């Protein structure tokens, strides 16, 4: 095997490993999101960011010069395509889970704000009404 072919195989194997690792993080995060434990994904974010940066750099390198993977055999490229498809499916699942969680949180905030608006005043002693103080609403977007 020539040096170029060896380099191509190593690049593809590295990309496969990165893609599998990212895909596995998505599985773990998706499981946590599905069981309403979104806060538990925080410890995964540093590794996910590191892998995502490596993935993006690898893709940019290949896109800039397709010849760097020209020496890889078709079986290895087929494996990469399959792993990439699985990765993209898991990323789409996560996007749907996060969109649903965001919409649910927005619905709660809207319901609370409508309730506050509907009760502009609160009853006090006797017939006298005292204006209600607005209640602060805190939304933790990192959850």
pLDDT in tens, 44-72: 999 999 999 999 999 998 888 887 787 78
Q: Label residue 126 by pLDDT band (50, 70, 90).
A: low
Distances (CA, A) of 69 to 4, 28, 120: 8, 30, 66
Domain assignment present for residue 93? The answer is yes
Select the more confidently predicted residue: 135 or 23.
Answer: 23
- The alpha-helical segments, DSSP class H, found in 1-131 are 3-34, 45-64, 74-118
b/e code 64-82 from CB counts within 10 Å (16+ = b):
eeeeebebbeeebeeebee
pLDDT tens for residues 69-123?
877 888 998 999 999 999 999 999 999 998 988 888 888 888 888 887 777 655 5
Which residues, other chains included, contact 24 with Cβ-Cβ below 8 Å and sequence gap of 6+? none
Could you read off the pLDDT of 3-47 as tens digits, one per residue?
Answer: 767 788 888 999 999 999 999 999 999 999 999 888 899 999 999
Task: Give the CA distances from residue 106 to residues 30, 32, 136, 138, in Å, rounded to whole numbers and listed in that order.
Answer: 20, 20, 15, 12
Token digits for 8?
Answer: 């191509």
Evaluate whether residue 39 is within a structural domain.
yes
Residue 141: inside a domain, yes or no? no
Total domain count, the chain: 1
pTM: 0.71
Domain that holds residue 54: 3-116
């Amino acid at each position: 095997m020539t040096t170029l072919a060896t380099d191509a195989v190593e690049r593809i194997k590295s990309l496969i490993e990165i893609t599998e690792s990212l895909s596995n993080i998505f599985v773990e995060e998706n499981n946590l999101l599905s069981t309403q434990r979104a806060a538990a994904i925080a410890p995964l974010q540093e590794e996910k960011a590191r892998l995502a940066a490596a993935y993006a750099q690898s893709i940019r390198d290949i896109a800039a010069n397709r010849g760097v993977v020209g020496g890889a055999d078709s079986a290895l490229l087929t494996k990469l395509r399959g792993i990439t498809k699985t990765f993209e499916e898991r990323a789409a699942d996560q996007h749907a889970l996060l969109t649903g969680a965001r919409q649910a949180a927005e619905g709660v905030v809207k319901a609370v704000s409508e309730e506050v608006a509907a009760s502009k005043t609160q009853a006090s002693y006797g017939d006298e009404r005292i204006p209600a103080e607005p209640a602060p609403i805190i939304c933790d977007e990192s959850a």
